[in-house]
Structure 1
Amino acid sequence: MSRFLQFEKLLFANFMAEKIKQNPKQSIISCLIIAALVIIAVAIGFKQNYFTQFNADIADAANETEKAVFLTDSLFGEGFAPAAGVENYNSDNLYEKIDGKADLYLTNGFLSLQTCRFAENSSLENWAEVYFYDMGKPENAFAVYSTQKRSDAASLNWTQFGYSVSDSVYVMFGKYYVEIFLSAEDGKLLNSAESAGKRISSAVSAGKSDMPLMDVFPTENLVADSFKFISADAFGCSDLKNIFTSKYNIGDKTITVFLSTNAPAETYDKYYRFLLDNGGEELAHGLTVKNCKAVNLFGSIELFFYTDKYFAGVRGETEIENLRPIAEKLFKKISND
């Protein structure tokens, strides 16, 4: 019973006791009338409470339906059927499903996971299990997707961020990240999993997720599919957050370009202090770039700077001369933005 109903009941009881005490005969009719009014008030209060809870239940059901609609019985086509119902996980029990990997998701904004296993009708030993993650926003989904991307990945031609390997499929679209794991390395099963991933992607979005800052990075010597997002503790520094990175081939060396819009001047100062506190030695950088520092950290050269909008830099185990050209291009591009 709600507090409102309890209060009405107590108020009515006290009122009747007082009336009867003052004038027993005259109070009977008055008390009956008031009792009727109280009953009406209680009924109205109960009805309002019922419909409030009903609406809340409908809203919860709608949210669950929105999530579950992508894992339908027909997701894998006529040759497959769900081997069990949809399983739901949140931040409290995620470790039960992916123990050992849960921290990666939890530190990148994880909201929920739904999984379902689909088995081939002709052979139940052939199955594919879908993991459907809601990561809250595209950057979080991309952080998980890019961090785990396999070196033997084969890109999917129907989506911007998706690939497959011999026994699994990985797709990221909007705030969602999907993994599909197979029971065995099987070409037919893999094709079915790729088609299922495409169906989910089409149901949720157009299959594309425009990531911020991708077009800011220089394109010359860019290593394909090396674009990543690091939400926290980039390069071992707790103050480096929400960093986008890409790799570049410079001669026989691979270097990293990084970029962020997170408090540029403050991040610049904190990263500089982090490098010096951990044994770095400042170098002369020779660039005509303001707000720029160069630090040698045990053979890795860090060349970084900031503008009003960006904190950016280049890092790699190579001579500083190899870093200057791309650093200048990057600075020129972000200065004009």
Structure 2
Amino acid sequence: MYSKRICFLASLFIAAVCLPVSAEGLDRLFPEPGLVPGWNAQGPPEHYAAETLYEIINGEAELYHAYGFREMAAITYIPEEGDGYTDITVYLYDMDTPENAFGVYSSYRYPDYDFDRIGTEAMVSDYGVKFYQGPYFVDLSFSDASEPIRLAGAEISRAIAEAISAPPDPPAILNLLPAENQVDKTARYAAKEMLNQSFLPSGLEARYRVGDREVTGFVILFDEPDQAAEALGKLGEFYLSSHASTVEADLPGEKGLAVETAYQGILIAAVKGRYLGGVRELNSAEEGIPLLKQILARF
């Protein structure tokens, strides 16, 4: 009796491991047959969980894991009158939150790319489309740059975006960065280790025009004010141990830091509540104080 129970539990475990990952949840977002004229799915979607994602995007899986990856479904579309070499592969990622989906999307984005209004925002090229909407990040890969495949790719992208129930509004967290003088398409969200520091949590950054130059403004997000103040102290210790020097500056906020770094110019930062705002790559502390005040005024 005991051995039968063990075998029964083991069979349940094996079945659970082999089941598709939330197949219905992601598969419903793919276009139905005939929705994009002349193109059909080559086969059913394939599904990937956290432990198997590397099998299909080896080398990039860590990026998605850093942003709260939950699951992914992939499907390939081929033309009805194809040559056997033309296809569009769609990778649909559930990133759990709109912030995480934007974070992955923003890690690929550069201002000089071409963009389209698909989902919340889309990057388009001759060989693919990347867009995000709600908690989903969608990546389409084209086998060639011909016009028919690019037009079909755009139609598939729009069909997926329309099937996503989440509104196409950007994540509200982006409002923590001032829009004035922000360089378009440069905002990024990091899920952890802001400023490449293991002791810092998630945050935002964007490029800003200051005079005839560009600098980086940032916001780091904490749960409690004490955590923000403690992190500012650790940040100062890190820079001073890395041959930075302190700079005299009349900074806004509850507690501030101004240092001249070895490779990133002058950095100024200040705490306000549970947030830590800052500006880096400055020629002088005074140059960045107006932007720092704008950042702190957002929270």
Task: Tell me which interval the TM-score lies in, with the shorter structure as reference length.
Answer: 0.7 to 0.9
Task: Find out whether 1:319 has 2:284 as its counterpart.
Answer: yes
Map of 1:329 onto structure 2: 294
Contact 1:79 1:121 in 2 (8 A): yes
Map of 1:96 onto structure 2: 55
* CA shift for structure 1 position 175: 1.2
Contact 2:256 2:270 in 1 (8 A): yes
Counterpart CA distance in 1 for 2:40 and 2:234 is 54
Structure of higher CA gyration radius: 1
Amino acid at match of 1:113: M
Map of 1:161 onto structure 2: 121
Question: Counterparts in 2 of 1:1-337, with a 5 A limit?
Answer: 63-74=22-33, 77-123=36-82, 124-262=84-222, 263-298=227-262, 299-331=264-296, 333-334=297-298, 337=299
Contact 2:89 2:140 in 1 (8 A): yes
Aligned residues: 285
Identity %, equivalent residues: 23
Contact 2:131 2:138 in 1 (8 A): yes
Larger relative helix fraction: 1
Deviates more, 1:148-157 or 1:178-187: 148-157
Q: Does the residue aligned with 2:230 lie in a helix, a strand or coil?
A: helix
| 1:269-301 deviation per Cα after TM superposition (whole angstroms, max 9, x unaligned) | 222222222222111112354311101111521
Counterpart CA distance in 2 for 1:215 and 1:257 is 13
* CA shift for structure 1 position 257: 0.8
Q: Does the residue aligned with 2:92 lie in a helix, a strand or coil?
A: strand
Contact 2:251 2:270 in 1 (8 A): no
Contact 1:75 1:199 in 2 (8 A): no
Q: Does the residue aligned with 1:220 lie in a helix, a strand or coil?
A: coil
* CA shift for structure 1 position 2: 7.8
Query: For residues 61 and 237 of structure 1, do their structure 2 counterparts lie closer, same or farther at Cα, with a shift above 3 Å needed?
Result: closer
Deviates more, 1:213-222 or 1:164-173: 213-222
Deviates more, 1:217-226 or 1:200-209: 200-209
Q: TM-score, length-normalised on structure 2?
A: 0.85
* CA shift for structure 1 position 207: 4.6
Q: Does the residue aligned with 1:98 lie in a helix, a strand or coil?
A: coil
Q: TM-score, length-normalised on structure 1?
A: 0.76
Counterpart CA distance in 1 for 2:185 and 2:242 is 31
Contact 2:177 2:204 in 1 (8 A): no
Unaligned runs of 5+ in 1: 7-48
Contact 2:31 2:156 in 1 (8 A): no
Counterpart CA distance in 1 for 2:171 and 2:143 is 33
Computed over aligned residues only, the root mean square deviation of the Cα atoms, in angstroms, reads 2.6
Q: Greater relative contact order (Cα 8 A, min sep 6): structure 1 or 2?
A: 2
Query: For residues 198 and 207 of structure 1, do their structure 2 counterparts lie closer, same or farther at Cα, with a shift above 3 Å needed?
Result: farther
